[in-house]
Amino acid sequence: MGQVISLSRRRFMQFGIGGALVLTAAGTGARWVQRNRRSAAPEFQQLRQQDIQLLTAILPFVIGPHPAFAANLDTTLDNIDRLLAHSSPAKQAELRDLFDLMTFKATQGPTTGYWGEWSQATERDIQKFLLRWRDSRVALLRFGYQGLCQLCHMAWYGTSASWQAIGYPGPPPLHRSHE
């Protein structure tokens, strides 16, 4: 017969505190390792290679079906990079931490539910990840989902290729950037 384990409230609290310490240590370690890999990819100011792989995989699912999107993926990535470059240092750090959480192997699997390389992720893998974060009981993951979606949408709808489908004529000529 199996042994019944009696768990007192004190012992339960010790396990909870121990788990929190382990997660904190893993997160701190992840940030330290990722910050040492902070070199931007060639032709980018802010985005690293692992960020580009992640965004390339998830952008089509965040944006949804749009006939002009595939031809403008690079422009959308450039817009994300530009948005990051022109953000405050605090916002840059937040977004880098979010990307680190999703790309550092020690935190990627437990938080996203996907353990492989983002460049190899299937449609099902990405949809499961996005739904996991969107519907999570953990507010931090829901917040991460919202931030990620907002960043992707701002970058995509900042391209003139997206405007025709939504009937937007574009900003006044004075405010248009050069694409």
| Whether the Cβ atoms of residue 38 and residue 48 lie closer than 8 Å to each other | yes
Taking the C-alpha atoms of residue 153 and residue 163, their distance in angstroms, rounded to an integer, is 12
Is pLDDT at 2 greater than 80 in this prediction? no
Please give the pLDDT value at position 10: 60
pLDDT, tens only, 119-129: 999 999 999 99
Phi, psi of 177, rounded to the nearest 5 degrees = -90, 165
pLDDT, tens only, 16-70: 665 565 566 666 665 555 555 568 878 999 999 999 999 999 999 999 998 899 9
DSSP code per residue over 18-58: HHHHHHHHHHHHHHHHHHTT-PPPTT-SS--HHHHHHHHHH
Q: Provide Rg for the chain, Cα atoms.
A: 20
3-14 in b/e burial notation, b at 16+ Cβ within 10 A? eeeeeeeeeeee
Query: How sure is the predictor about 148, in pLDDT bands with cuts at 50, 70 and 90?
Result: very high
Taking the C-alpha atoms of residue 107 and residue 9, their distance in angstroms, rounded to an integer, is 29
Which carries the bigger pLDDT value, residue 47 or residue 175?
47
